[in-house]
Each structure stands twice: as structure tokens, then as C-alpha cells.
């Protein structure tokens, strides 16, 4: 939902009931100044989007701890990630790379925001909800889908601790409105947006317009 337009919410192979706090029972994401084990993480399946494969291959070459991967195996009987593994990896990473999913924005973008990993949007066509009210540029970064992964990693590594803390603070401020969980604020934000759109439509109706119903004869 950007300028009053509802967009699909991506659904993939993410963890069921992914929360932060979740299975770790942590009180929200790590502190803004807390050190992270990994620079960049990715969670997903390379089968969903061919552009993911070069990212996964490059991150595999770099290896841990700089790059962390949580890959979905389509041949496995398990249809979702383990929430504990996904949450722990997000909380231990400075950034998460988000490539285009099935439809609209990936669920993983919002998992990342809840767990404190700054999203790196590697896509030119990913709409983001409430983008007219939330300045994603204050915390998220965007790179081309087919960017040189080595150069992206080098650029991320040069971001200062001061900038990281500022971006994490901005992300925390936006997190509630982007949380679609039971206690999150996305439902309220959607209802408020519908109310705003309805109010604009009502104000646009000319004052002399009559109600298209006959008056009751009494």
C-alpha cells in the first residue's frame, strides 16, 4: 500500500510464526550498538527467482561469518524454515539481502525489520507499503538486482557504526506500522489508509450532489 493502493503481500517459504521476539524470547531486536556476527544474510530458495543464484554463489564463496545463508531445499519434506534458525540469523546480521519474490514485497523484508537486520532491496520493481508515509531510505538500501555482489559487500562494510546506529533507530521507529502480527500496527495502518482515501473521495463529491434515492413520502 503506497499512495492509497493495496499491494499483494508476498508469501514464500518463510518461517511459520516468525516473530521477534519469537522462539528466542528476546525483547525485540538487538540493541542498535550491539555487534553483529555477519555482515549480510539471505534466506530463501534460489528456485523462486533466477537472479538469486549469483547472489547465493557469491555469498557462498565469501563464506561465514561475513555471509550467512539459510536456504530452502525444495526436495525436503519441510515446507518452511525453522523459525529459530531464521530469527537467530537475522538477529546476528547487519544486513539482509531481499530479492524479488513471488508477488510484491517479500515477507522476509518485514521479518528482517522486526529482527533488526537492515534490508538491502536488490530489485528495481519491489513496491513497499506506506511508502508515502515511511521514508525507507532512512534505513533500507537499494541495489540493482544483478549487482556485483563483491562490490556490494565492500560498500556495506564501509558504512560507519554511527550510520548503522542511525539506520537501526529509524527502522525501529517504522517497525510497528510494518508488523502484520497479532500485536503489530499494520492492520491499524491499513484501516487508517482506507479511512483517509474514503474521506478524500467524500470531499471530492460536489456539495450540490443529491443522494440517488427517492425521498420517503411521509
Average pLDDT by consecutive 10-residue portion of the chain (218 residues)?
Answer: 37 46 59 91 83 91 93 64 82 92 75 92 83 89 91 95 95 84 73 79 70 61
Contact 119, 98 (CB under 8 A): yes
Cell of 209: 450532489
Contact of 90 with 117, CB cutoff 8 Å = yes
Which of 65, 60, 54 has the alpha carbon at shortest distance from 148? Answer: 54
Using a 10 angstrom Cβ sphere, with 0-12 exposed, 13-18 middle and 19 or more buried, the burial of residue 76 is exposed
Q: Which domains does the chain have, with CATH numbers?
A: 38-199 (3.40.50.2000)
- Of the candidates 180, 170, 90, which has an alpha carbon nearest to the alpha carbon of residue 137? 170
Q: How many CA atoms lie within 13 A of 212 on its CB side?
A: 1
Q: Which pTM value belongs to this model?
A: 0.77
Which positions ≥6 away from 21 have C-beta within 8 Å? 27, 28
Cell numbers representing residue 151 in the block: 562490490
Would you say 114 and 175 are in contact if contact means Cβ atoms under 8 Å apart? yes
pLDDT of residue 81: 66
pLDDT given at position 104: 62
CB 10 within 8 A of CB 104: yes
How far lies 144's CA from each of 44, 113, 139, 141, 212, in Å? 18, 20, 17, 10, 51
38-44 and 67-71 beta bridge pairing: parallel
Amino acid 182: pLDDT: 67
Q: Write down the pLDDT at residue 8.
A: 36
What is the number of other CB atoms lying within 10 angstroms of the CB of residue 35? 9
Amino acid at each position: 500500500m503506497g499512495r492509497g493502493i493495496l499491494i499483494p503481500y508476498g508469501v514464500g517459504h518463510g518461517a511459520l510464526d516468525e516473530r521477534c521476539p519469537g522462539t528466542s524470547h528476546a525483547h525485540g531486536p538487538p540493541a542498535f550498538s550491539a555487534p553483529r556476527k555477519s555482515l549480510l544474510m539471505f534466506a530463501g530458495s534460489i528456485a523462486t527467482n533466477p537472479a538469486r543464484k549469483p547472489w547465493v554463489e557469491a555469498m557462498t564463496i565469501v563464506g561465514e561469518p561475513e555471509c550467512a545463508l539459510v536456504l530452502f531445499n525444495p526436495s525436503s519434506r519441510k515446507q518452511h524454515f525453522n523459525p529459530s534458525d531464521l530469527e537467530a540469523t537475522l538477529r546476528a546480521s547487519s544486513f539482509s539481502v531481499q530479492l524479488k519474490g513471488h508477488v510484491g514485497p517479500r515477507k522476509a523484508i518485514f521479518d528482517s525489520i522486526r529482527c533488526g537486520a537492515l534490508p538491502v532491496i536488490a530489485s528495481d520493481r519491489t513496491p513497499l507499503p506506506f511508502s508515502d508515509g515511511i521514508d525507507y531510505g532512512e534505513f533500507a538500501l537499494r541495489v540493482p538486482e544483478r549487482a556485483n555482489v563483491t562490490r556490494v559487500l565492500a560498500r556495506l562494510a564501509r558504512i560507519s557504526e554511527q550510520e548503522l546506529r542511525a539506520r537501526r533507530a529509524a527502522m525501529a521507529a517504522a517497525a510497528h506500522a510494518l508488523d502484520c502480527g497479532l500485536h503489530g500496527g499494520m492492520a491499524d495502518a491499513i484501516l487508517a489508509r482506507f479511512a483517509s482515501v474514503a474521506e478524500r473521495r467524500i470531499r471530492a463529491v460536489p456539495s450540490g450532489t443529491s443522494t440517488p434515492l427517492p425521498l420517503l413520502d411521509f
